C-alpha cells in the first residue's frame, strides 16, 4: 500500500471516529442540557412556590394586623366613650350642690368610719360646714354606731381630692373621697355599662 493510500485511510478513519465522537458529545450535551434545564425548572418551581407561600403568609399577616388594628381602634373608641361617660357622671357628682353634698359626706362618715375616734380631711369648701355643732351631731351618731364615746377632729390639711372625705384613725384609714368611691363604682359597673352601651 502506498504511503498516500495509508494516509488517506488514517484520515478517513480519523474522520469517522471524529464524527462518532462528535455525535456522542452532542448526544451527551443534549442529555446534560435536559438535566440542567430540568433541575433549573424544578428549582424555579420551588422558588416560585416558596415565593407564593411567602406572599400568602404576608397577605394573611397583613389581614390579621389590619383586623387587630381595627379591633384596637374599636376598643380605643369604646374606651374613650366609657371614659367620657364616667367623666361626665363624676363631674355631676363632684358638682353636687351643698344641700345634697354635705348630707352625702355625713352619710359616708357614718357608714365608713373605721372606729369612733377619727380625723377628717375635707375640701376647703366642705370644711366650713363641719363646725362644732355639725361635728357634735356626727359624734353622737358614731357613738350610737360603735356603742362608745366618739371624738371627731377636722384636719386643716388641704384635701387632695375634689369632694368626699378621708378618715384617719388608730386602726385604719378610709378613703371615701369622691374619686375613690367613683373608681370603686366604675370597677363594679364597667362591665354592665359596656354591655348596655355596646351590646
pLDDT tens string 94-121: 888 889 999 999 999 999 999 999 999 9
Inter-axis angle of helices 3-94 and 178-198, nearest 10? 120
What's the CATH code of the domain at 165? 3.30.2320.30
Listed residues 43, 61, 95: the one ending a domain: 95
Is the pLDDT confidence value at 16 over 80? no
CA torsion sign, 122 to 125 to 127 to 133? negative
pLDDT of residue 3: 74
**Whether residues 74 and 151 fall in one domain:** no
pLDDT band, residue 9 (cuts 50/70/90): low
CB 155 within 8 A of CB 120: yes
Comparing 2-6, 89-93, 166-170, the range with the smallest average pLDDT is 2-6
Q: What is the DSSP letter of 176?
A: E
Whether residues 90 and 102 share a domain: the answer is no
pLDDT at 141 over 90: yes
Could you tell me the pTM of the whole model?
A: 0.61
Query: Shortest CA distance to 113 belongs to which of 41, 175, 198?
Result: 175
pLDDT at 71 over 90: no
Domain span including residue 135:
97-198
Q: Quick one: pLDDT at residue 191?
A: 84
pLDDT of 93 strictly over 90: no
Structural domain count of the chain? 2
> What's the DSSP call for residue 131?
-
Contacts 24+ apart (CB under 8 A), 74-78: 78/194, 78/197, 78/198
Domain co-membership, 120 together with 106: yes
State how far the alpha carbon of 176 is from the alpha carbons of 22, 23, 82, 106, 116, in Å.
104, 104, 23, 11, 16
Q: What is the pLDDT of residue 31?
A: 74
Average pLDDT, the chain: 83
pLDDT digits (tens, 9 = 90+) for 147-187: 999 999 999 998 999 899 999 999 999 999 999 988 888 88
| Average of per-residue pLDDT across 77-95 | 82
Q: How far is CA 142 from CA 40, 122, 130, in A?
A: 93, 18, 15
Do residues 6 and 50 share a domain? yes
23-70, pLDDT tens digit by residue?
A: 777 677 677 677 776 776 777 778 778 778 887 787 787 777 778 777
DSSP3 helix / strand / coil % (the chain, rounded to 5):
75, 10, 15
Is the same domain home to 42 and 74? Answer: yes
Amino acid at each position: 500500500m502506498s504511503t498516500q493510500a495509508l494516509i488517506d485511510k488514517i484520515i478517513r478513519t480519523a474522520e469517522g471516529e471524529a464524527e462518532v465522537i462528535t455525535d456522542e458529545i452532542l448526544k451527551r450535551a443534549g442529555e446534560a442540557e435536559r438535566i440542567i434545564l430540568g433541575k433549573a425548572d424544578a428549582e424555579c418551581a420551588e422558588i416560585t412556590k416558596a415565593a407564593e407561600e411567602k406572599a400568602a403568609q404576608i397577605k394573611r399577616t397583613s389581614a390579621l394586623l389590619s383586623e387587630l388594628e381595627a379591633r384596637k381602634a374599636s376598643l380605643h373608641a369604646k374606651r374613650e366613650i366609657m371614659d367620657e361617660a364616667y367623666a361626665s357622671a363624676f363631674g355631676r357628682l363632684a358638682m353636687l350642690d351643698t344641700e345634697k353634698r354635705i348630707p352625702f359626706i355625713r352619710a359616708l362618715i357614718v357608714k365608713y368610719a373605721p372606729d369612733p375616734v377619727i380625723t377628717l380631711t375635707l375640701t376647703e369648701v366642705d370644711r366650713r360646714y363641719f363646725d362644732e355643732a355639725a361635728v357634735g351631731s356626727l359624734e353622737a351618731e358614731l357613738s350610737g354606731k360603735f356603742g362608745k364615746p366618739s371624738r371627731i377632729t377636722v384636719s386643716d390639711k388641704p384635701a387632695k381630692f375634689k369632694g368626699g372625705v378621708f378618715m384617719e384613725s388608730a386602726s385604719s384609714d378610709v378613703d371615701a373621697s369622691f374619686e375613690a368611691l367613683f373608681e370603686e363604682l366604675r370597677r363594679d359597673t364597667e362591665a354592665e355599662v359596656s354591655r348596655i352601651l355596646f351590646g
